[in-house]
Every structure is written in structure tokens, then in C-alpha cells.
Chains A and B, each alone.
Chain A
Amino acid sequence: MGELQFLTWVRGSGLNLALTIFVVGVLWRLIEIYGLGRKKDLSASRSTPGASGWATILRRSLPPPGMLPASPVSYIGGYVFHVGLAVVVFLFAPHIALLTSIAGVVWPALPSQVVDFVTVVTMAAMIAVLVDRLFKPVKRFLSTFGDWFTWTLTFLPLLTGWLAVHHLLLPYTLMLAVHILSVELLLVFLPFTKLFHAFTVFGSRWFNGAVNGHKGVPV
């Protein structure tokens, strides 16, 4: 398979396959998880302003008082790479063009120099959280193959995209194809790894907030 054929495959059948696995996988996992249901709480509820599932979905995006100094790399590195990923994925002109071709939606892009800078910062933040995982005893202790694997899955699209834009390491066509393939791998594995927190984080925060909201505890 030549470079061009490879690119054509990842842009065509490869992308379709990845998107299908992603969509079916996400739906399957959501049903598998939330289909389990939960028992109705029969105790008398007490309502307090700010205590609810919805409030918790928002509130948990901020570190509780005193927690930031306890795990600064997780918090700051976490913010930087999550926001960075969102910027790079959704505000880079070629990505918007792709989404426009798939879904017909369109929105303004950031200048490519800005996206380039954000990409570098995002990769740096990801390296920082990786180093933290390697050296912070609790994180090291909790880490499994899945943690290293999903880090790699998330990092590769950033790295290959950046290399492709800068025409580094491999010929552009090949690097672009590798970049798209790395995104497809991310899509395929997302529903079945801890990356699925991208979806369940909302459900988890809501459940926690709802249980506590019932008790009148703003968590």
C-alpha cells in the first residue's frame, strides 16, 4: 500500500469503521451502565439550595477548598490538557473543515499559530501528568496498563498532528495518514477504556449530587 492509498483508506473506510465502532460502542456502554438503574430512595428528602445533581456537575469542575496544593499537577495539568485538547480538536481550521464535510456544521477557527502553540502546551501538560503518574506514589500504585495505554492513545494524535503540520519526521502525506489513524484508534478504544469518563463523568457527578441533594448536602 502506497502512502496515498493509505491516506485514502484512513480517510474513507478506516474513518467509517472507527466512527461506527465509536458510536455503537458509546451507545452500548451507556445502556450497559445506566440500564442497571437504581432503587428509589424512600427516606424523606430535605432540600437545600445548591444541593442537586446538576449543581454537582458544575461544581466538581473546580477543586474543593484545600485540594489544589495536595495534587497540583493533577489539577493544573488536567485543566491545561483538557482545555487544550478541546481547543485543538474543535478550533483548528482543517478539523472544522472535516466536521463541516461530515455534519455540515461550521464555526470560526483560531489562527493556526495559536492552535500550534496550544498543541505544544497541551503536550507539555500531558507529559507533566505522565511524569506525575510515574513518580507520585499513589498514582503509580493505582496505575495499570490501561493508564499508560490511554495516555498514549491521547498523546499520539497531538504529536502526529503537530509533526504533520510542521512537515517533520515523515513525508507529509504519510504523517497525515498516521495522524488520522491515531485519531481512529482513539475513537475505537474510547468507549472501552477509562477514556469513557468523557461520557460518564456527567452521570457520576449527577448521581453523587442527587444522592447528596436528597439529603440537603451541597457537594
Chain B
Amino acid sequence: MSASLDKGVRVLKEMIDAPIASYFSSCVHCGICAEACLFYTETGDPKYTPIHKLEPMRRIYQQEYTLLGRLAKMVGLSKSVTDEELAEWQELVYNSCTLCGRCSAVCPVGNDIVYMVRKMREGMSAAGHAPEGIKGAVTRTINIGSPMGVKLPAVKAQMKHIEADTGIAIPLDQEGVEYMVTLSSMEIINFPEYLGAIAKVMRHVGRTWTLSSEAFEATNAGMQIGNSDLARVIVSRVVAGAEKLKVKTVISPECGHAYTALRWEGANLIGRPFTFKVQHIVETLEEFRAAGLLKLEGMETDRLSFHDPCQLARRGGVIQPQRNLMKMVAKDFVEMPDAGYMNWCCGGGGGASSIEEGEELRLEAFKRKKRQLDAVKPDRLVTACANCRIVLEEGLEHYKMNLPVVGLTETIAEHIPDPE
């Protein structure tokens, strides 16, 4: 057994807890999870059945934690997990799983399959079987500070542009303000309109906020690859930044997994509860709306639909707020089939979009999104995740669909009246 395989198996063993033992013991091989997975429904290949993606972990569970499994292993009746096997499973655990959680939502015996995939990735990355694309993103985040290699000067340059465009000063490192706004690299590089929209919203509602020079990046490739040690290092930057500036709330950007990393995994990664609140920007906007602070003008007249990011809706519990906000600005708002809790993934979440060799499969899986969109034919698609947005744009271009994709925050900000 190679050292890395040994480590991988040890980590997988450590990952197994009562829920995982219960899940593996409950599976009746009904295959219903496959029907919920876009990688199966769009390819028809049974190897993409979600529970099958966990087969090496299941065997380790059986061999290490059950009496009969231990006996079978002792007398040589069950085979150990091999390096070749884990190499083969890399495609199943990363390329063809976006951690979207539809499988966990439909399993009749209640198995939270994506909870297990997240843990399985810990073992896979320890064994050295993670895709180069995500490895690169992790390395850049650890060494440079962001998965796309964005450094503070790039943020500062964007701040300057936005200040020039909007005439609003972007606060940096201001202590004692209410909100610390974090970003995803994608927003810094591709969608700077997000930061401009935040500036407009905050001025409109009269709340204090700041960016942090140490904690502007909210994404967490360490979580996506499945390395809790690195995920902890990355999330600790945000925690340190927020605590240093003594803010009440950290706003997670329009990014699905950054929200999961901060909102649900963060405290568990650092081993203590946060001293501040974490909100996705959609939740913050909803709070402003509910308090009557958003006094918007005008309505969009073209047909709009909303793509729910999996980590925000199904895995994050934020489902109604985006609809309330859409209805403030959209005259013709249409819901796609399965929208909301059971929405279909864009196909590139959970780190999948950074896997180059997974692109063909991703585009194949996008046919599901295409069908959803074809059913309601919107003129524009709104979402609240920069990664969904990029993946959607790639898919739409591939299938030659002329459909602009925009962010929810900027859509709201466009209806904020100019101050008198």
C-alpha cells in the first residue's frame, strides 16, 4: 500500500460517523438517487448513480466498522480499496458530482448522499486523487489568496473603477461597521457590477459596511476539494478579518459554495461558533425589503426567470427571499419546472467548473438546464451565484441559446432611485 493510499484510507475511516453508518446500512439499491442526478439523467450511464460514487467508502465502512465485515476481511473474503480504484472513482466523486444534493432530497430511506460525498472527498484528496483543476485553485487560494490568483491590488483597482462609475466611496478596513462584504474572485474579475450594486444598495438603505483587505475572498476551494485543514486556513482569514473589524454580519457574496463554507462549515472548521452573523447577500436584501428599506422604482418588463443556486436553496434553506425580491422588480416573472427546492444544478457547482477534463460531461449535463429553460422561455435569467452564472453562460453559448444571465443584486440595484 502506497503512503498516500494509506493516508486516504485512514482519512476515510476517520470520516465515518453514525449518520454514514446508518446511511450505508439503509441503502436498498433502489436506484432512485440516479433519477435525481443530472449526470445520470442526461447520460443514461448507471455509473453516475450517486450512491455508487461512494462504493470505496462503503467497503471501508463495512470492513472496519461491522463485525461481519471485519471477519470477512480477516479471512480474505472482501478486497481492500486500491489506488487504481480510487483513481477510477475520481471522475465520479468530482467531475460528475456538484454536491447539488438532489439525491439527498429524494432518497426514500433518507440517505444524505451528498453529506457522504463531501466526506469521501476528504479521503480522495488525502490519497492524491483530486482533479488538477481544483488542486490548482486550492494552491492559489492558500499561496496567493484567491482561487483565480486575484490579489488586493486587483480589488483596489476595481474599487477605483466603481467609485468613478457610481460616485460612491467603497469603504475598506473600516472598524465597527455593521456589514463586512466579501467577494468571490469571479465577481472581482468578471462581474464587478456586483460590488457597484452593493455600494448603491448600502447607500440607499443607509447601512454601514466595509470590505476587508485581508478577507475579501469568500470562496473556499479547500472545502470543494475536501481538505478540511486547508478549508480551515481559508475560512480563518474571513473570521480573522471580521473579528478584527468587529462587524456584526459578514455578507457572503453571490456564490453558492462560499455561503456553505461560511454559513454552515465555517464554525465547524475552526472548532468554535462565530462571533458574528453570516448572511448570503440575498438574505441581507430580503431583510432590507422586509423592513421597508428598499424603495425601488420601475419594473423590468421582459420575461425573467430565476435559477436557484443549489447551495443557497436546497442546501442552504434560502428559497422564498429571492422570489420576494424578484417580484419587486419583475412584471413577468416565470418559474421553471422544479424551481426552488428541487431546482436542477447548472452542472458546475462543488468545484466541478474548475475541472477542465470534465467540460464535455458538464455540457452534456447542461441539457437538463436547457429543457428547464425551454419550458418557460425567459428573455433573461437571474441568479445569485457567480459560478452558476459562468457555467450557465458557457452552456447557453454551447447550445446557441441567446439568453443573458444577470445577478440578482445588480438587478435590484438598477431600480434604486438616484439620491436627490
Q: Which residues of A contact B (CB under 8 A)?
A: 28-29, 32-39, 41-44, 46, 48, 51, 56-57, 60-61, 63-67, 70-71, 74, 78, 133, 136-144, 147, 192, 194, 196-197, 200-201, 203-209, 211-212, 215-219
Contacts and interface: CB of A to CB of B under 8 A. Distances in A.
Given A67-B32, A136-B31, A209-B110, A33 B25 contact: yes
Which of A32, A48, A142 has the largest number of chain B CB atoms within 10 A?
A: A142
B40 A196 contact: no
A74 B35 CA distance: 12
Interface of B: 16-23, 25-32, 34-36, 40, 44, 46-47, 49, 51-52, 65-68, 104-112, 115, 263-268, 271-274, 277-278, 314-317, 337-338, 341-342
Contact of A215 (B68, B264, B272, B338): B264
Contacts of B27: 194, 197
A201 B51 CA distance: 16
Contacts of A44: 267, 273-274, 277-278
B268 A41 contact: yes
Nearest to A70: B35
Contacts of A138: 31, 34-35, 40, 46, 49
Contacts of B264: 43, 215
B25 A196 contact: yes
A20 B1 CA distance: 41
B118 to A, nearest CB: 11
A214 to B, nearest CB: 8
Nearest to A197: B26
Given A38-B17, A43-B266, A217-B314, A141 B30 contact: no
B112 A142 contact: no
Contact of B317 (A136, A203, A209, A217): A217
A137 B46 contact: yes
B316 A32 contact: no
A92 B385 CA distance: 57
A219 B104 CA distance: 9
A68 to B, nearest CB: 10
A66 B115 CA distance: 23
Interface of A is mostly: helix
Nearest to B55: A142
Nearest to B337: A66
Nearest to B31: A138
A86 to B, nearest CB: 16
A205 B317 contact: no
A117 to B, nearest CB: 26
Contacts of A215: 264, 315-317
B119 to A, nearest CB: 11
A142 B51 contact: yes
A194 B24 CA distance: 9
Nearest to B274: A44
B22 A34 contact: yes
B111 A208 contact: yes
B111 A37 contact: no
Given A60-B109, A142-B46, A217-B314, A70 B32 contact: yes
Nearest to B29: A142
Contacts of B265: 43
